[in-house]
Amino acid sequence: MTTMLHAPTRTQLAGLKAALFLLCLVPAVRLVLGWQADTLGANPIETITRASGDWTLRFLLITLCVTPLRRLTGLNWLLRLRRMLGLFAYAYGCAHFMTYLWLDQFFDWMAIAHDILKRPFITVGFAALVLMTPLALTSNAFSIRKLGGRRWQALHRSVYGIAILGVVHFWWLVKADVREPMLYAFALAWLLIVRAWWREVERRRQLAASPPVPAFKGKVIRIVPADK
């Protein structure tokens, strides 16, 4: 598809990134202000844990939307915003974990270890956060150069697995009403299907483009070294 909008200039892109940065901070600022004003409801710790968990998953899915959106619209510069969105997913994930460690468990390491090992939804959430760490650490130009494009891409493909773990984590913690995690599951399934479909189309296109190998019609001559 052709580009529908002109690529922004450097200054416009910087402005866009600054605006997006502020927008991504809104949920965190609302929680901090709500905590200070004591308007987070009867159980503010639960409110913070849940909101930060929600935003971790939302930012993960928003990050995964960038590539399909770029392909559908032809707006290649959207890729320049992806790293920030991914890093916000990680930042909210860390805030979510810190809320749990600090406000929920009061750094009781035995209880935390017990939870991670014995409560499946915590195990899965923890695994997701651990797996997000190398992605956050390598989301810079230096790491792409150091790892090489192919290896970097292979590593960053794990983001789909991480998003699956995030949805499973949410699904397992809700006791009865699975409507909300189901919405995330549908969104993620759609992203995965679109990606698999595009890969298949690309594979077929490459197969069709590569010239057929001509059938061999000559004689086979075996070359034997002289000393044998």
The residues binding ligand HEM (CB under 6 A) are 46, 49-50, 53-54, 56-57, 60, 93, 96-97, 100, 122, 125-126, 128-129, 166, 169-170, 173
Helices (H), the chain: 10-37, 44-73, 79-98, 109-118, 120-137, 141-147, 149-156, 158-173, 179-209
Is residue 32 within 8 Å of residue 102, measured between CB atoms?
A: no
- Residue closer to ligand HEM, measured from CB, 27 or 53: 53
Give the count of beta carbons closer than 10 Å to the beta carbon of residue 160. 15
Query: What minimum distance in Å lies between the beta carbon of 80 and ligand HEM?
Result: 24
Give the count of beta carbons closer than 10 Å to the beta carbon of residue 211. 5
Query: What minimum distance in Å lies between the beta carbon of 158 and ligand HEM?
Result: 13
Give the count of beta carbons closer than 10 Å to the beta carbon of residue 34. 16
Query: What minimum distance in Å lies between the beta carbon of 208 and ligand HEM?
Result: 39
- Residue closer to ligand HEM, measured from CB, 8 or 44: 44
Query: What minimum distance in Å lies between the beta carbon of 95 and ligand HEM?
Result: 10
Going by C-alpha positions, the residue among 128, 131, 137 that lies closest to residue 83 is 137
- Residue closer to ligand HEM, measured from CB, 76 or 133: 133
Is residue 171 within 8 Å of residue 181, measured between CB atoms?
A: yes
Query: What minimum distance in Å lies between the beta carbon of 57 and ligand HEM?
Result: 4
- Residue closer to ligand HEM, measured from CB, 73 or 158: 158
- Residue closer to ligand HEM, measured from CB, 69 or 185: 185
Going by C-alpha positions, the residue among 21, 18, 11 that lies closest to residue 87 is 21
